[in-house]
Amino acid sequence: MTDAFTKLFQQMLEQGQEMAKAFAPPLEGLDAKGFEKLFPAMPKDMLEAFFGKTFNPDGLDARTRFLVTIAALTVQGPLGEPQIRVTVQNALAAGATKREIAEVIWQMSMFGGLPAMQKALEIAQAVFAETEEKAP
């Protein structure tokens, strides 16, 4: 990369960060719990509408899409941590089982490494425990 491109890229990045702050001040310094409050688990019908077969009737259902997303987030390691919680919640709401979620995470150990898999499993187990506490 040239110095001019590097400067332009840095300037664009800074402008984007400033725009994000201006449009959504509450998002600044958002942690995993705050992210979760913004995007709680959706009802199953809504999940199917947004992430399931509404836009692609012959495609993947919401459950499968969330399992694939969990796999991708697991491989990202620490970058995917805040989103894993919400995605696990939504996968459960879309009909995925705890075992399916755990297997998807375990499978990603080959691609993201053991530390990434371990952290994702810890996050998923915490969500599972919270889900059990809320159940009647």
**What is the per-residue pLDDT across 60-89, written as a single tens digit (0 to 9) for each?**
888 998 999 999 999 998 888 889 999 999
Q: Which helix (H) or strand (E) holds 8?
A: helix 3-23
Q: pLDDT tens for residues 10-68?
A: 776 666 666 656 655 555 555 545 545 555 566 666 666 665 556 666 778 889 989 99
Per-residue pLDDT band at 104 (split at 50, 70, 90): very high
**Structure confidence at residue 40 (pLDDT):** 58
Helix, strand, coil shares of the chain as percentages rounded to 5? 75, 0, 25
Give the pLDDT of residue 51.
58
* Kind plus residue range of the DSSP H or E element containing 123: helix 114-134
Residue by residue, DSSP assigns 71-102 as HHHHHTGGGGHHHHHHHHHHHHHTT--HHHHH
φ, ψ of residue 29 to 5 degrees: the values are 70, 25
Burial of 15 (0-12, 13-18, 19+ CB in 10 A): exposed
Determine the pLDDT at residue 98: 96
**What whole-number distance in Å separates Cα of residue 35 and Cα of residue 50?**
19
Instruction: Tell me the mean pLDDT in the region 91-105.
Output: 95
